[in-house]
Amino acid sequence: MTQPPKPQKTTVALHRHLLAQAVSDWLNLNPSAWAELVEIVETVPLGDNCQQCEGNGGNPMRWPHDTDREGRWITGHYRCHVCKHTWTCHWNADQLNPALTWDL
């Protein structure tokens, strides 16, 4: 009997490596951007697909360049770096996964 492959540990390790490499490369290009990096990480739960790019074979996931907060509601403002489409998306902070680290 053969066991099914267990790629998950390798995949997680690979993604961790790729993330660390991307962060390192980004900070090497812009060493004073640590606060911006933290801001980017904090918007991870607010990823949304660009409707213009969806279906073109690429990854349409984008993250907000700015946010507005009103109580437990967050409005993300998005600008696709590929097709330049802009849109907003409203999020309930209590339903985000992973949960926000922000103080609301």
The Cα–Cα gap between 82 and 37 comes to 21
The Cα–Cα gap between 63 and 45 comes to 9
Among positions 66-95, residues that touch Zn ion (CB under 5 A) are 80, 82-83, 85
In the bound state, the residue with its beta carbon closest to Zn ion is: 80
Check if the beta carbon of residue 51 is closer than 8 Å to that of residue 87. yes
Q: Does 50 bind Zn ion (CB under 5 A)?
A: yes
Which two structure tokens, joined as six digits, stand for 95? 């339903």
Selected range binding Zn ion among 18-26, 52-60, 71-79, 94-102, rule: CB under 5 A: 52-60
Tell which one of 43, 49, 52, 75 touches Zn ion (CB under 5 A).
52
**What is the CA angle 72-76-80, rounded to 5?**
165
Q: Does 61 bind Zn ion (CB under 5 A)?
A: no
In the complex, the residues that contact Zn ion under the rule CB under 5 A are: 50, 52-53, 80, 82-83, 85
